Chains A and B, each alone.
Chain A
């Protein structure tokens, strides 16, 4: 089925440490307000490796603070890892200069957790969705508007809302806006960083189904970051479990969720509420 058997994304031995810089330590002696600004020193990611096949969905699960968002930021090239490499389409993107990175950025897009913060509240839907096109200098102004309207159709938002400011949309609609914006540059890889966590349950289901539709329509690859195992089971082909900055377990969704090996996975499963009795959601391990 897949023409290209090579993985779209390959992460090898990625580590990210946040450390107190020397300058800050020195000036904390003099600064009166150093108490407030002390940067923390800790390891967010420790030797993480994973692979992502084209047109598949990998769910990255883990508790809060396990390093999921950091991994997403590194893959999206918004943070530089301390060590390790990231290969996108067999090309190493970790150490690329910004100029070349700019060419690659359209293909990897990030959707954030809270659309209220990810969208500038005063901008209209048109400005928001067209922003990536403006930045990348694509299309003329008229064609951009046409493209925006197409994208609105894609995410099932009414065309009439194109000039409404973002703060007038509801939560689920805002997330659709964010999605439309992420799709503007026709990416291959979409990183969804807890993209459904801030939404109501019913809206979550709607957006999840929208994601599946889009994946089928546009041939997208998803890296779906979540702490919600039920959603992971619904959307993902592969699952990787992240705990304390390390991948502790990975494999196909079925295998990991129904026969967890690591205790971190088991703990996560134990915390998942049960849905309807005959759904495909994993059963509670510890009754």
Chain B
């Protein structure tokens, strides 16, 4: 209980409390949407509709062909325009109503709770195997006729999870190294820091690619996912390690640590009661900066074919089709998922800024307040070596 109180007093100081909680809420809401992808997505991401490849997004209507107003929005099914093989036109004889909380394909919420309700769908009343309900493609479809919206939501699960896990690996590794180096000191510290410098000096992206590509290329999606997470996590340990080490060095010589030693405290006690809590703020800020970077790293890898392969969807996979010129020219809606990703990065940027604002060194002196030399947050820029 007292640890919780202490954590509270670290984070909930009145000044930036409001801002931080707002951003946190925003980010958590977005993640919830992805977590419950099964509910928010109308269809299974692997469902192929071979009759309707590269369908453009369906438009929502309130007025029908006879200019009658309908309170419930509806869509028109799309069919191939006569004489064309990839142009679609609206079929005004087949309106599809938008219904909420419809029953649809089975999915497992959170991986284990079976459910059938979806947020929205076409909700035809009596679907039979011979007469499947017409499908609503809000964002259009890809080359295999798979619903882009569903693929976006489920792809987010993979990409975000990769980012989160990767950040967890990096931060754990970095903290371990930083704590050891700072606490033990001596030649071990020097060796570790030289290694860290080496890693920091390497161009980040190049290292990422090299690491990933030198490992077996054709693996199953699950293996690929873990490979990506490990690679991303291992590449970035140096910066958190240095940060943690500098904190440990400065706290190690503080009088209250000396006093604890004077009471006969063991090294382990010092590490977990005094040093680790001091690193907490830095670690949280680093997490907010690293997670979007790692999500982006996974996206880049998948985009270039080095990450999670088909048929699993990840955000990078989704955009990979855009590498073909024909897609760029004719099927522009494949780009929309890229725009849908932006709120996530916005949320993390805001979170990181808010965390940086409050992570001023907490000192009790009544002196001149330290100038707010905030280091700008480079959230989504994969700058090599950064």
- Give chain A's interface residues, CB within 8 Å of chain B: 23, 27, 31, 73, 76-78, 101-102, 105-106, 108-110, 112, 114, 116-124, 127, 131-132, 135-136, 165-167, 181, 185
Distance of A114 Cα from B367 Cα, bound (Å): 14
Q: Are A116 and B364 in contact (CB under 8 A)?
A: yes
Distance of A73 Cα from B35 Cα, bound (Å): 55
**What is the minimal beta-carbon distance from A158 to any residue of chain B, in angstroms?**
20
**What is the minimal beta-carbon distance from A141 to any residue of chain B, in angstroms?**
10
Can you identify 21 A-B contacts, CB atoms within 8 angstroms?
A27-B190, A76-B262, A78-B262, A106-B264, A110-B259, A112-B255, A112-B259, A116-B363, A116-B365, A118-B256, A118-B258, A120-B256, A121-B364, A122-B6, A124-B5, A131-B260, A131-B263, A135-B263, A135-B269, A165-B9, A181-B259
Q: Are A117 and B187 in contact (CB under 8 A)?
A: no
> Taking chain B's interface residues, is the majority helix, strand, or loop, or is none over half, making it mixed?
helix
Q: Are B364 and A135 in contact (CB under 8 A)?
A: no
Distance of A27 Cα from B6 Cα, bound (Å): 41
Distance of A109 Cα from B264 Cα, bound (Å): 11
Q: Are A122 and B256 in contact (CB under 8 A)?
A: no
**What is the minimal beta-carbon distance from B261 to any residue of chain A, in angstroms?**
6
**Number of contact residues on B: which range applies?**
20 to 34
Residues in A neighbouring B376, C-beta threshold 8 A = none
Distance of A112 Cα from B257 Cα, bound (Å): 12
Q: Which residue of B lies closest to A168 (CB)?
A: B364
* Contact (A123, B6) CB under 8 Å given A23-B187, A117-B254, A135-B269: yes
Distance of A102 Cα from B267 Cα, bound (Å): 13
Q: Are B262 and A105 in contact (CB under 8 A)?
A: yes
Distance of A167 Cα from B10 Cα, bound (Å): 12
* Contact (A136, B259) CB under 8 Å given A116-B364, A122-B6, A167-B364: no
Residues in A neighbouring B256, C-beta threshold 8 A = 117-120
Q: Is B362 an interface residue (CB 8 A)?
A: yes
Residues in B neighbouring A136, C-beta threshold 8 A = 263-264
**Contacts beyond the supplied A101-B264, A131-B260, A167-B364: 18 A-B pairs with Cβ under 8 Å:** A27-B190, A78-B262, A112-B255, A112-B259, A114-B255, A116-B363, A118-B255, A118-B256, A118-B258, A118-B259, A119-B256, A120-B256, A120-B274, A122-B9, A123-B6, A131-B263, A136-B263, A136-B264
Residues in A neighbouring B30, C-beta threshold 8 A = none
Q: Are B260 and A122 in contact (CB under 8 A)?
A: no
Residues in A neighbouring B255, C-beta threshold 8 A = 112, 114, 117-118
Q: Is B372 an interface residue (CB 8 A)?
A: no
* Other-chain contact of B362, A108, A121, A135 (Cβ < 8 Å): A121
Residues in B neighbouring A27, C-beta threshold 8 A = 190
Q: Are B258 and A135 in contact (CB under 8 A)?
A: no
Q: Are B264 and A102 in contact (CB under 8 A)?
A: yes
Distance of A148 Cα from B264 Cα, bound (Å): 19
Q: Which residues of B in the span 223-260 have a Cβ within 8 Å of any Cβ on A?
A: 254-256, 258-260
Distance of A73 Cα from B259 Cα, bound (Å): 11
Q: Name the 4 nearest CB pairs between A and B, nearest first.
A: A118-B255, A132-B263, A102-B264, A116-B364
Q: Which residue of B lies closest to A174 (CB)?
A: B364
Distance of A51 Cα from B6 Cα, bound (Å): 43
Residues in B neighbouring A78, C-beta threshold 8 A = 258, 261-262
* Contact (A122, B262) CB under 8 Å given A114-B255, A116-B364, A116-B365: no
**What is the minimal beta-carbon distance from A172 to any residue of chain B, in angstroms?**
14
Residues in B neighbouring A114, C-beta threshold 8 A = 255
Residues in B neighbouring A185, C-beta threshold 8 A = 263
**What is the minimal beta-carbon distance from A139 to any residue of chain B, in angstroms?**
14
Q: Are A105 and B263 in contact (CB under 8 A)?
A: yes
Residues in A neighbouring B6, C-beta threshold 8 A = 122-123
Q: Which residue of B lies closest to A127 (CB)?
A: B2
Residues in A neighbouring B2, C-beta threshold 8 A = 124, 127
